[in-house]
A and B are shown apart, each in its own frame.
Chain A
Amino acid sequence: MIQLKKIDKYYDAKFQRTFILKGVNLEVKQGEFVTIMGPSGAGKSTLLNIIGLLDEPSAGEYYFWDEPAHKIKEKQKVQYHRSHIGFIFQAFHLIDELNVYENIETPLVYRSVKGKERKAMVADLLDRFNMVAKKDLFPSQLSGGQQQLVAIARAIIGSPKLLLADEPTGNLHSEQGEMIMKLLKKLNEEGMTIIQVTHNEDFAQYGTRVVKLIDGLIREDYQVENRK
């Protein structure tokens, strides 16, 4: 599904080139739940952003379902964001001015889904996440875990093939974190491909595979044995 070949990402300062990623090769198959781990500044988020088409590699090739993603234009990227990729973030990134219902609805609006259909889809998700009672609340009125739930709901409402999670539990205490991880695992079991970045060794055990990144290089890549 995803194939990265010799991906470099660097910034040029006056006299030297700083590499964030160097020669990253990575293949992710459909249905995998990959955890990218590594110390701060290892390039985890950059790698995730490149996979999510939010950032461009400085060199190398990236194939998304055999399409050369390193070559596609800005306009086509929008199409990918609309139908193939969902995002969740450490800081949740809900829109403060919109309530729960409207936040979840946003991607559907951009995909020009009809109002009635939207309503049904959002209601369905709210039901599934047990959040029906909270649909009129604003993000500031929710706990961190609840906010992340909304963010996940928003990310998957368009049923994307790929869910990218950048430290989804980083802002949550462990109980809420586990709840989120269980949900991600369930989504994975239902067939969604997930790539997450995390610091937490325990939470890595929810996935199927771990990739360890140090100073922009992949140092380890192994399957999880005792999956939680």
Chain B
Amino acid sequence: MILKVVIRNLLKHPFLNLVKVIGLSLALTGIVFIALFLKNELSYDSYHSKSDRIYRYTITDPDFLGGKHFARTINPGYIPELKEAIPELENFTRLMPVRGGLIKYEERFYNINEAFECDSTFFQVFDARLLIGDKQKVLGNPASMVVTESFAKRVFGETNPVGKVLTLPAGQFYGEQQDFTVQGMMKDFPSNSHFYPDFITTPGADQFANSWAWTYLLLAENANPENVKSGISVYLKNNRETNPEEMDTQVHLQKLNDIHLKSHKLREIEPAGSLTNIYVLTIAALILLLISISNYANLNMGMTGFSAKYMFVNKLLGSSKYSIASYFFIEGLFIVVTTSILSLMIAFPINSLIAKMYGLNLLNGNTFSVAVIVLLFNLSALILGMTPVVSFVSSLFRNRTKRNVSPKMAKGRVSSALIIFQYGFSIALIVSVIVISKQTRYALNSSIGVNEDNIVCFESVHSSIQQKFKVLKAELLKYNSIESVSAMMEPPGGEANDMFPFEMEGYKTDEQNQEYDRIGVFPCDYSFASIFNLQFLSGENFSKKNTDADGSGEYIINEAAMHRLGYSEPDKITGKEFRLIFSAPGSGIEIPGGKIIGVVKDFHLQSLKSAVEPLVFFKRENLWLLNFVISYKPEMQAQALNDMKTVWNSLFPEYPFQYEHVGAMYKKVYKAELLQARLLSVFTTIALFISSMGLFGMALISTQRRVKEIGVRKVNGARVSEIVTMLNRDYLMWVGVAFIIASPVAWYAMNRWLENFAYKTGLNWWIFLATGLLALGIALLTVSIQSWKAATRNPVEALRYE
């Protein structure tokens, strides 16, 4: 019986009930995804059973590469000795990247996304489920490889991988070709792991001595990391340092679980997650929760008026407080169940969209978490949504006449606070979206090669391809569609970390620090400056060849380098004699001495988060030119890509043809920011939508309450416009108050956010003005619909005596 009436009454106000359900569903869906994403981010690497005891070991030294903090440790050959020296150190494992990006099996090359040469102790430190093989033995021999399930499937198909031999081709980072034998197969690493190697393998010969490796230490139970740190310091002082008295080396230990969110070192395995994103999303989820539920409660409150008569008659006929309360409870239940169903219907397509775009299947394996979130949300909606109704029911039983039971709202103070709060958040969110989008766009547009987006990059090509750069370039330039071909040490968006000592005419090296007076270097092809349209402040571009005799070497520097070298006018430094010193005995590499021939304006190779470093550009042939960049005529894109493929396949038939647009590469650099902007705009839309619906409901309720007053005023000569103005005035004032409260908060928050960047766009006043006007406009539109309806009603209806 109650259910029948409930459904009938819900259908009587389809729009308002739809608003309730849609508002709640949008918020619930948003909250579910935020919660799952946060769960994923915050649980990074905690699936390792010993994760609380695993630390990553790094060192910094102010005298070494400018004191930069690398995630990897250099020359980690001594790590096993540490284990002997420090009792609290239980175990260790080193991960060395398998470079070159390609591996050969039965005459075919396969791409490696990520792979490590590691110690045989890998499985003693980290958890991984072995499908084939025994954890104790599988990495026991040199050159033993364990592949992941998906990699095995890609390379070997369904056949058993054990015993298969994979060949790492010869390249510049490994003198010789090397064979590895597959000994086992493991499950793929989960999405909340900070590494996802295709395979791990023990090195063929001991290569840990002269290399860089990510080094993980497993501490004994109840060990104090500070003791381990000082133990390592002592060891380094006694065994590694040439000059123990002046050791500047700092030892750092970072908890494994902190790596994903808190580590922002150089050469990470994968870019760190963003803690800002975590905060932003948590706040967004809270806002959604608050706004949606308060809104629901608000609408509930307003709509009790509709059923007041039904309730009153029921009461006269002898129904109890509880049966009336149960009416509202069933109504609420009906709403939240509909909400949950609708949310699930929205959730599945959104999940597949996220999975497609970010490779993150959030719903997968999280059924229980989703159920808990949905249940908690529904429960809080039900309880908080009922609160105002309960006061209505009790007032129904206190008062004698129906006239007095229509909802009274303490002069609407609670509701106005609600609107101020909802709009305040919405305004802050809009400001954030604008600022983040603006900054990201600025960052992208300031990056090199992005504006026309007609440059593609072949990133970290294999060394045997590097050797043939000259041929590739000559072949490509024969095609009409290709504009320019160049090569460079670091890819667009990469970090140029290498530094060499140098000599310059008139430059006095710091006597104290002679050995460490270095400058950032960037080897490239001679057409580097022209392909990226670098702007010359003085001097000229490289001559069109990549080899120069000693004495006529050519160097181009950036503005930052000019300042670093003690000059402030570009014209004064061009022409000065200059030489980079490279000393690797036996390498046979020499960099010809010569002159600084040009100064270019600072440009952003790296993310705008870091300041532009002083860089010296110099030409090399077949060496250190890891990344090829090719620009094509913008109007001939399809043709150009086709031509590139033709040339590539004829020159390097066995290597995969893989390129990426520079624009896309920079988008990866700002992935976190782009994601923030996108998520925030979604949540802002939802928040604004819900708030406006709330405002709409409020206006509905309030005009209902004031129907008589409006009638009286009209009879006394008020125009429709005067009534509308009167009704709108309060709401606009509230939005105004919300704006005044939200603006400084948003300004502060965005200032903090912008601090992440070394180069930033300003927080212009127009952002706030536009946001305020937008919020005001939306509010005005929403409220005016109601006000207009109320103001144009015939006052006779309102003033009829009941």
Binding site for B on A (CB under 8 A): 45, 49, 52, 54-55, 74-75, 78, 81-83, 87, 89-91, 93-97, 106-107, 110-111, 154, 158, 166-167, 170
- A93-B708, A97-B709 known; A81 vs B722 contact (CB < 8 Å): no
Chain B interface (Cβ < 8 Å from any Cβ of A): 708-709, 711-720, 722, 794-796, 799-801
A44 CA to B719 CA, complexed, in Å: 27
Inter-chain contact B794/A54, CB cutoff 8 Å: yes
Tell me whether B717 and A82 are in contact (CB under 8 A): yes
Q: Is the CB of A78 within 8 A of B719?
A: yes
Specify which chain A residues have a CB less than 8 angstroms from the CB of B716 in the assembled complex. 81, 87, 106-107, 110, 154
Closest Cβ neighbor of A81 among chain B residues: B717
**Set of chain B residues within 8 Å of A158, measured between Cβ atoms:** 717
Q: Which of B715, B796, B799 has the most CB of A within 10 A?
A: B715
A95/B796 in contact, CB under 8 A: no
Contact of A106 among B711, B713, B796, B800 (CB under 8 A): B713
* A49-B796 in contact (CB<8A): yes
Q: Closest residue of chain A to B718, judged by CB?
A: A110
Query: With the chains together, A158 CA to B718 CA distance in Å?
Result: 13
Q: Are B715 and A95 in contact (CB under 8 A)?
A: no
Residues of B within 8 Å of A93, CB to CB, are: 708, 711-712, 715, 799
The distance from the CB of B607 to the nearest CB of chain A, in whole angstroms, is: 58
Distance in angstroms from A57 CB to nearest chain B CB is: 13
| CB of A49, distance to nearest CB on chain B (Å) | 5
In contact, A96 and B796 (Cβ under 8 angstroms): no
Interchain Cβ contacts under 8 Å between A and B, 29 examples: A45-B800, A54-B794, A54-B795, A54-B796, A55-B796, A75-B719, A78-B717, A78-B719, A81-B714, A81-B715, A82-B717, A83-B717, A87-B715, A89-B799, A90-B801, A91-B799, A91-B801, A93-B712, A95-B709, A95-B713, A96-B709, A106-B712, A106-B713, A110-B713, A110-B718, A110-B722, A111-B717, A166-B801, A170-B801
Q: For residue A107, which residues in chain B have a CB less than 8 angstroms away from its CB?
A: 716-717
Roughly how many angstroms separate A167 CA and B713 CA in the complex, as a whole number? 20
Residues of A within 8 A of B799 (CB): 89, 91, 93
Report the minimum CB–CB distance from B453 to chain A (whole Å).
59
Among residues of A, the one whose C-beta sits closest to the C-beta of B800 is A45
Name A75's closest neighbour in chain B (CB-CB): B719
Q: Min CB distance, B702 to chain A, in Å?
A: 12
Cβ contacts under 8 Å, B801 to chain A = 89-91, 166-167, 170
Bound-state CA distance A97–B715 (Å) is 17
Q: A93-B712, A97-B709, A111-B717 are in contact. List 7 more A-B contacts (CB 8 A).
A: A54-B794, A81-B714, A91-B801, A93-B715, A96-B709, A106-B713, A107-B717
Bound: A90/B799 CA distance, A:
10
Beta-carbon contact of A110 and B794 below 8 Å: no
Q: Find the B residue at minimum CB distance from A53.
A: B715
Nearest chain A residue, comparing its CB with the CB of B802 = A91
In this complex, what residue of B is CB-closest to A170? B801
Report the Cα distance A95→B799, complex, angstroms. Answer: 12
* Contacting residue for A110 out of B709, B717, B800, CB 8 A: B717
Q: Which residues of A contact B795 (CB under 8 A)?
A: 54
Shortest 9 CB-CB contacts between residues of A and residues of B? A82-B717, A110-B717, A107-B716, A81-B717, A54-B796, A93-B712, A91-B801, A95-B709, A110-B718
The CA of A166 and the CA of B799, in the complex, are separated in Å by: 11
**Complex Cα distance A107/B715, Å?**
9
- The docked-state distance in angstroms from the alpha carbon of A192 to that of B711 is 24
Q: How far is the CB of B160 from chain A (nearest CB, A)?
A: 81
> Looking at B712, B795, B799, which has the most chain A CB atoms within 10 Å of its CB?
B712
User: In the complex the two chains form, what is the Cα distance from A186 to B696 in whole Å?
Assistant: 48
**A54 with B719: in contact, given A93-B708, A93-B799 (CB under 8 Å)?**
no
Closest A residue, CB atoms, query B795: A54
Cα distance A74–B719 in the bound complex, in angstroms: 9
B714 (CB) vs chain A CBs: closest residue: A81
Chain B proximity of A79: nearest CB distance (Å): 8
